[in-house]
Structure 1
Amino acid sequence: MPGSQRNRPRIGKEEKQDRITEEALRQCLRIEEQAALLSAIFRYSPEGMAFGDTDLVVRAANQSLARQIRVPLDRIAGRSADELTPGWTEQMGDIVHKVRATGQSFQAQAFPFVFKNQPQRGTTYWDFSLSPVYRDGNVLIGYLMLTREVTERVQAERDRHRLVQEQAARAEAEARIRQLERLIEAVPDAVIIVDQNQNVVAINRAVMEMGKVADRSHLLRPLTDYQPSFRFFYPDGRPVPPEEWSALRALHGETVMMREIRVCLPDGEERLVQINAAPVRDERGEVVLAVAVVRDVTQQRRGEWQRRVLSQVGEALSQGLNLEAILQTTLDQTLQLLGADLVGVFLADAERRELVLTAHRNIRPETEGLLRRLPFDAPVLSARAFAAGEVQMMEDVSQIPADLPMTRRLVAIEGARFLVALPLRAGGRPIGTITYGAHTPRRFTEGDLDIARRVANMFAVAIENARLFEEARRHVVELAEERTRREDLLRTVSHDLRAPLTIILGQSQFLLRVGEKAGLRGVEQHSAEAVHTSARKMNAMIQDLVDSVRLEAGLLKLAKTSIDLRRFVSDLLDRARTMMEVGRVKVEMPPDLPPVAADPDRIERILMNLLTNALKYSSSETEVTVRAERANGEVTVSVTDRGIGIAPEDLPNIFQRFYRVKGERKPEGLGLGLYITRMLVEAHSGRVWVESELGKGSSFYFTLPIQLI
């Protein structure tokens, strides 16, 4: 028993030691297991792992890191980070300093890193952590780095982001284009929008109408694909290369203004367009679109050309007076103006009731023979236009009415596919027709019809002018003949009649002197006085007749000089004492009356005519007053009597040739005195008129120009 008691403590102590040993063994096993686990993790981890000392020399690394940096694993340990990846310290130095200073791990995602020894890799991206490693809790012995390359992920994210941005931009662009489409649809001109890829992305309906395209999508394609359906030419006919197209120039930042281009459409029709193109820039100033505004100026330019040709035709027709020559020179222009191939001008012969083919272009001889003379009621389009006084047009010659068989025959001869006949009218009366034809079908627009009417009116005016010119020419010939007759009469009167009259005057005056010397006072003396007086009156009438003929023929020439009317009238009355009762004449003229510019002989004739009449048609107990005054830049002279006056019905004709006052019992002379007075006053650029009242007398007025100093 005692022995057994002594052995109990020993057994307890051994068991405790065994337990300690077993625990230590278990801990060692755990450490070995953990070490093996850590080794396995270090070795097989997909993340790159590396341990470097404080000098950044790698002491351990796994295979994943070797693959990531593309360096064999057995060449990593013992080399610095900069040796393995040149530039590592430059790119990571700040991070290492931060970890060392703070004692805290640093983590980064998608960190950019450039392998300077592997430039082909470009910029790579990494998720990594850099942690400090301590011994005994406070002694820094190095750094543990865990890395994973995420370059592909970053690129994928960037691609996704770019795709999202592109989709958003595309959606925004499409929305902007839809908005632009709504805006440009209201624009009357054709609008084309082109993107940076030279694709037509938007057009308005005006583009479709101009290009004669029904499907909008047919035009929403690359602009350069428009050829060869659409062809573009400069106005001089040279093709426009694509690099010179206005929209493409705008994509390069250029603004194109008022550029004219000829466009040949798919159906062969040619249009003249005016293009304005400009770039559209984003907020960064980069060109994103080009906008081209296209205006069809075909009709505008054609209208301008038509107006020029019309002006030329009108000028030629208005200036010329030989109608046939004018028509021959202007018909070609009218054909071009109206796009016709043949034309005929018919003038009416009213006496024969026929239309006469006066001028034509491109008509066959057979047709000319048929159309040379047409009755007013001929079964042909030209005659119908003349009779109706309205335009007659056939755009479809297959529908010629049965009552126009001659037109059907003419169409067959000429091969015409279109006809239009327009009446020619002058002064409200028909004078002919003008007919155009074309060898191809065509539609006459209102504009074409307006041009045709204007040409017809011009021809009508020219024809009327030619007729008036011919009448004027005949009138001139007649006037020349009349002038010749007047000159012959003037020579006859002034020579053939005056020659014997001069003898009569001379002999009668001789007889009067002889009788006076012989003391004759009887019948013989009175007979001689009667012969002499009658001869003198006849001589005065012959002078009046000669003067009237000269005045009417424009043969009378004035010898103007400066005349003081006060002195002139006084001298005239002194000379006329033996011929009239000058004692009855009273002169009233202001002393400051300016001189007049006149022919003295003609002024004397005017005053003598007026004074003679005033004294003759007034009582011997009354005065005749001669007045003159300055008024309105001229001198007005008047001769006033207090005689019997002139009836109102005679006043309008008192200055007419050969006019005699009604009721005059013993008319003397030829009725030329006042007529010659008027002609002489008007020859001085003056005016003459009369104021009279029966039973109270008359006042005759005339004006003369003031002599300019």
Structure 2
Amino acid sequence: MAKILLIEDEPTIREEVLDWLQFEGYEALGAPNGRLGLEVIQRDHPDLILCDIAMPEMDGHEVLLEVRASMRFSSTPFVFLTASADREAIRRGMDMGADDYLTKPFSHAELLNMVRSRLRKKELQEEVMLGRIQMLDAALAEEREQRLLKSRLVAMFSHDFRNPLTAIMASAELLDEMSDPQHYVTHKQKYVNRIFGSVYILLQMLDEVMVVAEMEGGHITCTPQMMDLLSFVEKIIEEFRLIDRNAHIFSLTYSLPEQIELDPRLLRHILANLIANAIKYSPVGSEIRLNLSLHHDQIWLEVHDQGIGIPTESLPYLYEPFHRAKNAKQIKGVGLGLSIVRECVLAHNGQIAVETQVNGGTMFKVVLPLVPIST
């Protein structure tokens, strides 16, 4: 129920207008002069103010100045009631910030039309303001989320960069310190492999920083090109064999055309993250199986592991940045990999699905559209 204040020194007019307003369902408040009207405004916070101009003690112009000077009531609709001949007073009131005026004598219908019009306009202004506030809140929330993402990325990379860098430095120092040629030949390949594996991890992390930056910008660029997919996948598997030091068994089944059009950068992120997760969450000695096949003009990329699986309650949040399943808390990681995979898949207009069972392994299936080869 809208609350309307009438400031009017003529008792007959005041009582009649208040009766009209109450009959129409409004909460009607009255004051006989400007000073008392201001007290009612401060106490009851009306939604609309109807105010006579010529009044004793404090006229309508002075009331308007006080109302507009208050932050709380600066936007409250204010309508002057005045004699039709007082054009100068009307013009002055409008220049001071009044919203409208109604000349005396006025009819019941004229008053109600004015009241409804002003209240509706106020409602629309409040809706616009609310929309702006919501947009500002959303922008602030997004800014906070981006700051949190950046702080987490800084923390993650400052921590995770240390391990491969330490391995590189230690391996290089050991190679440098080897004085026995036979010992050098025997252990050289192991330390060189460790260096190459650590460099690969660092490059992968740097690439993921770039993808995360694109994700923050709201758009990941997908640039498909013709590629030898089998050789591409085999190379990634060999890189992971090097990093994994043969702790797991890798197998590959491939039944796709020789040449496929995909974005190699995004495809590397998809496969590298899914394979890295399979290694991370699977026991030593278990098999990690990759199946690449063609189904109804769709490329299916499947990565199977025999790991710890994903709890049911974590599935709705699986692709959210930094989400970690409860059974993965003790395993090193920050939870960005799957969110990167999803964005890279979506950039290809593809889909991703998961089949999993706690302690029974996980299978991620990526479905990408097959782009026909031009002839």
Q: Please, what TM-score do these two structures have when normalized by structure 2?
A: 0.57
Kept after mapping to 1: 8 A contact 2:249/2:287: no
Kept after mapping to 1: 8 A contact 2:286/2:306: no
Does the C-alpha gap of structure 1 residues 623 and 577 become closer, same or farther in structure 2, counting only changes over 3 Å?
A: closer
Q: Which residue of 2 aligns with 1:651?
A: 315
| Deviation sequence 1:239-282 (CA, Å, 0-9, x none) | xxxxxxxxxxxxxxxxxxxxxxxxxxxxxxxxxxxxxxxxxxxx
Say which of 76, 80, 83 aligns to 1:415: 83
The alignment status of 1:600 with 2:296, answered yes or no, reads: no
Q: Which residue of 2 aligns with 1:99?
A: none
Partner Cα distance (1:534, 1:593) in 2:
28
Q: Which residue of 1 aligns with 2:333?
A: 669
Cα shift at 1:370: 4.9
Q: Which residue of 2 aligns with 1:510?
A: 172
The alignment status of 1:460 with 2:118, answered yes or no, reads: no
Does the C-alpha gap of structure 1 residues 645 and 543 become closer, same or farther in structure 2, counting only changes over 3 Å?
A: same
| Partner secondary structure for residue 663 of structure 1 | helix
Amino acid at match of 2:250: R
Cα shift at 1:607: 0.7
Q: Which residue of 1 aligns with 2:62?
A: 366
Higher helix share: 2
Does the C-alpha gap of structure 1 residues 612 and 490 become closer, same or farther in structure 2, counting only changes over 3 Å?
A: closer
| Deviation sequence 1:336-361 (CA, Å, 0-9, x none) | xxxxxxxxxxxxxxx99856999x9x
| Residues 289-688 of structure 1 mapped to structure 2, 5 A cutoff | 354=45, 365-372=61-68, 411=81, 414-415=82-83, 437-443=101-107, 445=109, 453=116, 456-457=119-120, 459-473=122-136, 476=139, 504=166, 506-514=168-176, 518=180, 539=202, 543=206, 546-547=209-210, 549-554=212-217, 557-580=221-244, 581=246, 583-589=249-255, 591-592=256-257, 595-596=260-261, 598-618=262-282, 620-622=285-287, 624-631=289-296, 634-664=298-328, 666-688=330-352
Cα shift at 1:444: 5.2
Q: Which residue of 1 aligns with 2:93?
A: none
Kept after mapping to 2: 8 A contact 1:547/1:676: no
| Partner secondary structure for residue 242 of structure 2 | coil
**Structure 1 vs Structure 2 CA RMSD:** 5.4
Partner Cα distance (2:178, 2:317) in 1:
45
Higher strand share: 1
Partner Cα distance (1:612, 1:453) in 2:
65
Kept after mapping to 1: 8 A contact 2:77/2:118: no
| Partner secondary structure for residue 707 of structure 1 | coil
| Partner secondary structure for residue 326 of structure 2 | coil
Kept after mapping to 1: 8 A contact 2:278/2:288: no
Amino acid at match of 2:213: R
Does the C-alpha gap of structure 1 residues 666 and 548 become closer, same or farther in structure 2, counting only changes over 3 Å?
A: farther
| Partner secondary structure for residue 649 of structure 1 | helix
| Deviation sequence 1:107-140 (CA, Å, 0-9, x none) | xxxxxxxxxxxxxxxxxxxxxxxxxxxxxxxxxx
| Partner secondary structure for residue 266 of structure 2 | helix
| Deviation sequence 1:598-643 (CA, Å, 0-9, x none) | 3212211211221232344445354524233345x64342222344
Partner Cα distance (1:502, 1:666) in 2:
20
Cα shift at 1:569: 2.2
Q: Which residue of 2 aligns with 1:707?
A: 371
Q: Which residue of 2 aligns with 1:302?
A: none
Which sections of structure 1, spanning at least 5 residues, go unmatched?
A: 1-350, 384-406, 418-433
Kept after mapping to 2: 8 A contact 1:638/1:700: yes
Cα shift at 1:537: 9.6
Partner Cα distance (1:469, 1:478) in 2:
14
Cα shift at 1:441: 3.5
Higher relative contact order (CA 8 A, sep 6+): 2
Does the C-alpha gap of structure 1 residues 372 and 623 become closer, same or farther in structure 2, counting only changes over 3 Å?
A: closer
Kept after mapping to 2: 8 A contact 1:614/1:624: no
Q: Percent identity?
A: 20
Does the C-alpha gap of structure 1 residues 604 and 489 become closer, same or farther in structure 2, counting only changes over 3 Å?
A: same
Q: Please, what TM-score do these two structures have when normalized by structure 1?
A: 0.34
| Partner secondary structure for residue 303 of structure 2 | strand
